[in-house]
Amino acid sequence: MRQRTFDDEALAVQRVENGAIAVAIVIAIIAMGQPWWWLVAAFLVFDLSAIGYMSGPSLGALLYNAVHNYTGPAILLVGYAGFALGGQDLPWLALAAACWGFHVAVDRALGYGLKLHDFAHTHLGRIGRGTR
């Protein structure tokens, strides 16, 4: 029997945290009166970034990682807030940020992390067949 390590526990905590972020985004979208189904409808759009793997693992990881982190959604949300403070309400900007953040959160909750040197090696460990 394999003994659990600190890394295993830290990864479990990260997965639970990201699951909580996904749930919070769903609740926030519903509370804002936005259509929750956009979160599901837009979900796979962000995986188009994996097309970069057709040109090789380096470009694939770069494009995948550029889309699969919270920086993009945060920038969109700051843009939304800036426009709102300037008197322009652009709810589609907040909805796009929510859809993007939801995708990242669900991916991380499922154990899909940022890619290292190939698709199967992530910052959360190996994914795919033959892993844990």
In eight-state DSSP terms, residue 52 is G
> Which tokens belong to 44?
């796979």
Locus of tokens 């945290």:
17
Average pLDDT, the chain: 88
pLDDT number for residue 27: 98
pLDDT number for residue 128: 59
Smallest CA-to-CA distance from 50 within 62, 38, 39 is with 62
Residue 105 lies in a domain: yes
The percentage of residues in the chain with a pLDDT greater than 90, rounded to a whole number, is 69
Strand, coil or helix: what is 29? helix
Name the CA dihedral angle for 68, 116, 120, 71, rounded to a multiple of 10 degrees.
-10
> What is the separation of C-alpha 33 from the centre of its chain, rounded to a whole number of angstroms?
22
Domain of 88, in residue numbers:
6-126
| H or E element, residue 125 | strand 125-126
> Is the pLDDT reported for residue 131 higher than 60?
no
Residue 131 lies in a domain: no
> Is the pLDDT reported for residue 104 higher than 80?
yes
pLDDT in tens, 33-90: 999 999 999 999 999 998 988 999 889 899 999 999 999 999 999 999 999 999 999 9
pLDDT number for residue 16: 96
Residue 132 lies in a domain: no
Q: Worst-scoring range by mean pLDDT, 25-29, 54-58, 87-91, 110-114?
A: 110-114
Crossing angle of the two packed helices 6-31 and 91-109, in degrees rounded to 10? 150
> Which tokens belong to 81?
């807030």
Start-to-end Cα distance in the chain = 12
pLDDT category, 127, cuts 50, 70, 90?
low
pLDDT number for residue 35: 93
Residue 80 lies in a domain: yes
In eight-state DSSP terms, residue 109 is H
In eight-state DSSP terms, residue 115 is B
Residue 100 lies in a domain: yes
Q: Tell me how many domains the chain contains.
A: 1
Residue 36 lies in a domain: yes
Residue 1 lies in a domain: no
Residue 34 lies in a domain: yes
Phi, then psi, of 126 in degrees rounded to 5: -75, 145
